[in-house]
Amino acid sequence: MNKDWELTGELLNRLLDWLDPDREAAARKYALIQLRLVRFFAARGCVDAEAQADKCINIVTARLQDLVTYVGDPALYFLGVAKYVYLEYLRDLHRTPPPPPIPPDPEPDPSLETCLRRCLLKLSLDDRQMVVDYEEGEKQVRIQKRRQIADDLGMSLNALRIRIYRLHQQLRQCMEQCLKELPAH
């Protein structure tokens, strides 16, 4: 069914004729069906129960040509359609929106790079090389490299982690001090 489809006066008259040949009885049935549909959706927690009920009525009205041979209570047909509309409502409700676009990487702050270089130069050559080597690489390469560093230094991996942690602390303090000393942008 087209999403822009609307219930026109002519279609409403055809629907009322299908509900009952007596126009007043048809209007009462229509009002009762609409009320039942709204209750159906409201009881299931639909925040827009009226809109869902209208959607059911529109669907049934669009299919009136196929319903000429329908035998039975029209209200039950509307409720059958309502079950499918409710399932569609749930599917749309649980559909997750696409993730927001990933923002571009910000340009590196030249003051951070300047301070990091200054602070690394304050470390001994061996400590500086160890920190740089420790942080280099991706996943498995990094793990292998860290094991190699620990083996080369004759220490356990845990002892290496502790030593790197202390060097990181020194670098952090140095960076904080350096950034305070730099002129503001």
Structural domain that includes position 63: 9-94
Same domain, yes or no: 88 and 14: yes
Cβ atoms of residues 150 and 156 within 8 Å: yes
Mean pLDDT of the chain: 87
- Asked if residue 1 belongs to a domain, the reply is no
Cβ atoms of residues 26 and 16 within 8 Å: yes
Q: What is the pLDDT of residue 7?
A: 67
Same domain, yes or no: 119 and 151: yes
Overall number of domains in the chain: 2
Does 3 have pLDDT greater than 70?
no
**Shortest CA distance to 113 belongs to which of 167, 164, 178, 185?**
178
Domain boundary residue, one of 38, 69, 94? 94
Does 109 have pLDDT greater than 80?
no
Rounded to two decimals, what is the model's pTM?
0.50
Would you place residue 185 in the very low, low, confident or very high pLDDT band (cuts 50, 70, 90)?
low
Number of H helices, E strands in the chain: 8, 0
Tokens linked to 41: 């959706």
Same domain, yes or no: 142 and 80: no
Choice among 98-107, 114-123, 130-139 with the minimum mean pLDDT: 98-107
Q: What is the pLDDT of residue 63?
A: 87
Would you place residue 184 in the very low, low, confident or very high pLDDT band (cuts 50, 70, 90)?
low
Mean predicted confidence (pLDDT) in 112-119: 88
Other CB atoms within 10 Å distance of the CB of residue 4: 5
- Asked if residue 33 belongs to a domain, the reply is yes
Same domain, yes or no: 88 and 127: no
Same domain, yes or no: 144 and 80: no
Q: What is the pLDDT of residue 110?
A: 75
- Asked if residue 56 belongs to a domain, the reply is yes
Domain boundary residue, one of 31, 61, 94? 94
Same domain, yes or no: 118 and 74: no
- Asked if residue 105 belongs to a domain, the reply is no
Does 104 have pLDDT greater than 90?
no
pLDDT for 25-84, tens place per residue?
A: 999 999 999 999 999 999 999 889 999 999 999 999 888 888 777 888 889 999 999 999
User: What whole-number percentage of the chain has pLDDT above 70?
Assistant: 94
